Structure 1
């Protein structure tokens, strides 16, 4: 019991010493930053220092930014709140520019930044869907040729059927159909397909299987999360 109690006291002492050192270091950094940024109020400096977990460079960077874009304590609080909310999504420059465009009015800036984020998220989602559609289609085509290299039905793709399938996928996911179609035709040509009237044809060439396998591995690595569903759906798509 005594040894356990002694161990407990040692741990308690180490924890207290750690927090004591942490607090002393925080006070020293806070004092230094107050001297470097006299225009910024102590509570703001303390807030930024805590936000960045006492990372001196990041703290100085944001304090410099606040100095350049604010003139009083209220503005410092407002801009710091905007940075915490949007900093990881938009960056300081976009935030400060919007802040200036809306005459440093917090509510107006907040609304506009939310709109920008919503548009950005929508564009990213659309781009991801376009890539997803193309990758799934490429995996499907490559898998069938690699698995059945001599079966002619897997080496012929009817243009209209491909068009209809991609159009439906784009409509469902809200993707840009024209972009998806152009990218898909580029991939087909890269795989070795040639357009003959209304059909994309791939001439069987054993020496090209390594090239197709390399392409397949590339799409697998790019879209690992979709591999299982794509491979198991290859027989459900007739093109």
Structure 2
């Protein structure tokens, strides 16, 4: 585990903004070893502390790179995630699949789930991103998912979390729909939580691996940047600071 710099983005108003860099610790960990047979999976943090090399020789293996930095904050505090692929010897074309993000969320009333990114989310604004899947919760019927949307009707289709379109159908949720959920690892992992869930005690996790063989191989990434949107209280304080600065300039 190393201390590394990530970007925290604060926007108080259109006329006043600031960007702050600070340390955020990540841990590299193995999630699943394909029932413990064959070549073992591995993940190694790079020397600069801004990425990792993921090795999953067999289908079903999974590794993760997680941080507790966002624990206790809301899902809306995540602004965006980006990183760069590092080619291995003999590679000239980037893989069509990339590591995905798993975020443990709760409503604070004992319900937990993993929200997972799908497709190439890098650099996208999470508040408008509409390709989030949901796992590790009771998904037998839509009613069991309503807590994820503050009690409003929720649905799961091809693993994507959906909300009502108001016309009798369903549309994928965006990050803004999930913004109020609290980021928190549950600490214990009873059934129906599966073997593929991140169980590192970290709410925000970058994952490589799957139950199938599509993730078998090596993926290395660097220049990892996570932008953070402040909570409303932080925005208010920053706005007051900006006003104070303007007043001093005009004094």
TM range (shorter): under 0.3
Q: Where is the strand percentage greater, Structure 1 or Structure 2?
A: 2
Q: Where is the helix percentage greater, Structure 1 or Structure 2?
A: 1
Alignment TM-score, normalising by the size of structure 2: 0.16
Larger Rg: 1
Higher RCO, 1 vs 2 (CA within 8 Å, ≥6 residues apart): 2
